[in-house]
Structure 1
Amino acid sequence: MRIALLEDEHEQAQHVQSVLSERGHHCDSFPSGQSFLSAVLHRSYDLLILDWQIPDMTGIDVLQTVREQINWGIPVVFLTQRDSEADIVRALDAGADDYLAKPAREAELVARINALARRSNPDNEKEVLRYGPFEINTQQRTISLHSEELTLTDKDFDLTLFLFQNQGRLLTREMLLERVWGLARDINTRTVDTHMSRLRRRLGLNPENGFRIKTIYQRGYRLEAMKAEEPDHVEGTIETDRAVNG
């Protein structure tokens, strides 16, 4: 699992990274709210860990930005020295999924993270996933539309699965290159755009089938559920999202 950690104390950050790495997770650490938010916007993470007291803003501010501007249901855990009931309630009310006071016991931290990951991704345990008229068999690596199996490459399958599992979420080109292709996020390539254009046709992503891939200008793509009567204007779509650091 890929985890983003907001922690301005270097030794504490290294300790958490070491604990998570030993349990098979990948953890990137960031010392400020702005650097953390920029990374979360442009990279793909499965879970976030937030400290409360950081130099440029509070952990609550970061959480609110994640929920309001980035707007996706990624699990968020607070790991902080603040342990009053009022602080815990405030964090949970603001959208946190769990709360641990420092120093956290290593086994408990890992267990809570794993539990959140299971609850937030229940489809990971399923062999067959259904999204409207689409059926994805994760074991056989096949995709069917209205019970008719589609002809797709392995990479098309990986990209389609990732899109449906992240339905409604803005996926930057960097995220897709990293999670689907396994490439460094700074590689300049139109591979993603080419595959997206092809998937629109091969998957029949249109109002009749209930989904579309929406292009977010200069940002990336988002798979959206749609009603049959909605117009399907996807190529060259321009949408202005608020930037997290502006």
Structure 2
Amino acid sequence: MRIAYLEDDKVQSAVMKEWLEAEGYVCRAFDNADAFMRELRHETYDLLIMDWELPEKSGVEVLSWLRGDREWDLPVFFITHRDGEADIIEALEKGADDYLAKPVNREIMLARIKALVRRHSGRRDHLEVSGFSLNKDNKTLTLNGEPVDMTEKEFQLAWMLFTNIGRLLSRDHLLESIWGFGPGLMTRTVDTHISRLRRKLGLTPENGWRLKAVYHQGYRLEQLTEQE
């Protein structure tokens, strides 16, 4: 899972990043809101963790941008020194999913993250959509009741795409989540697997789908309407 973390306290940031990566998460830390927002314009993440008090824009301003201008449904976790009742209410009403006051207890923080991810994913291990049936437990996919022969990586890619229909997934996100590669790696791995999935699953406009490459960013699976 990819996490973007906005925190201007470098000591706090380093400790949190170490805790998260020790749990197997991929964590990118940012110390100012503008850099964080620039990153989110072209990269994708599974969870955002933010402080409130920042040197340029407040965490609540960033949250309003996410929920308003970007209209993103990503889980957002506030971790901040501000622990007043009015502050907590304001953050939650503006779209935060959880709120934790500093100082942070490692085990509580990790438990909150796991709960957030469970709630956001709905604990799905099976997915049915327009003739496709995906089973995460045994990594199988059927189309109109017929099994599709797939490698494990192809299934993982299909699962990410079908559980994020309409959402742009960056190449780095896919590489890190499925293959465990670091960011910025120049490889055709994702492109090759996307091409195979498009062919194997018939993800084409005539079948009501578009598996779209977004230049210099990533891929988006779109389910088309009859008008499209």
Q: Does 1:84 align with 2:84?
A: yes
Aligned to 1:182: 180
**1:202-223 deviation per Cα after TM superposition (whole angstroms, max 9, x unaligned):** 1122457553323323322111
1:170 Cα deviation from its structure 2 partner: 0.8
1:163 Cα deviation from its structure 2 partner: 0.8
Cα RMSD (Å): 2.4
The range that moved more, 49-58 or 217-226, is 217-226
User: Any idea what SS the aligned residue of 1:104 has?
Assistant: coil
The range that moved more, 72-81 or 11-20, is 11-20
Question: Which amino acid is 1:165 matched to?
Answer: T
User: How is 1:44-55 mapped onto 2 (pairs within 5 angstroms)?
Assistant: 44-55=44-55
Q: Which of 136, 157, 160 does residue 159 from structure 1 map onto?
A: 157
Aligned to 2:28: 28
Question: Which amino acid is 2:101 matched to?
Answer: A
Unpaired runs of at least 5, structure 2: none
Question: Which amino acid is 2:168 matched to?
Answer: L
Question: Which amino acid is 2:147 matched to?
Answer: E
Q: 1:173 to 1:77 in 2, by over 3 A?
A: same
Question: Which amino acid is 1:132 matched to?
Answer: S
User: Any idea what SS the aligned residue of 2:5 has?
Assistant: strand
Aligned to 2:227: 230
Q: Which of 210, 216, 219 does residue 217 from structure 2 map onto?
A: 219
Contact between 2:44 and 2:168, CA under 8 Å: does it hold in 1?
no
Distance in 2 (CA, whole Å) between partners of 1:187 and 1:226 is 32
- What TM-score does the superposition give when structure 1 sets the normalisation length? 0.80
Aligned to 2:12: 12
1:164 Cα deviation from its structure 2 partner: 1.2
Unpaired runs of at least 5, structure 1: 232-246
Distance in 1 (CA, whole Å) between partners of 2:211 and 2:220 is 6
Distance in 2 (CA, whole Å) between partners of 1:123 and 1:133 is 21
User: How is 1:135-150 mapped onto 2 (pairs within 5 angstroms)?
Assistant: 135-150=133-148
Distance in 1 (CA, whole Å) between partners of 2:188 and 2:13 is 35
- What TM-score does the superposition give when structure 2 sets the normalisation length? 0.86
Q: 1:111 to 1:158 in 2, by over 3 A?
A: closer
Contact between 2:208 and 2:223, CA under 8 Å: does it hold in 1?
yes
Distance in 1 (CA, whole Å) between partners of 2:34 and 2:109 is 25
Distance in 1 (CA, whole Å) between partners of 2:96 and 2:57 is 17
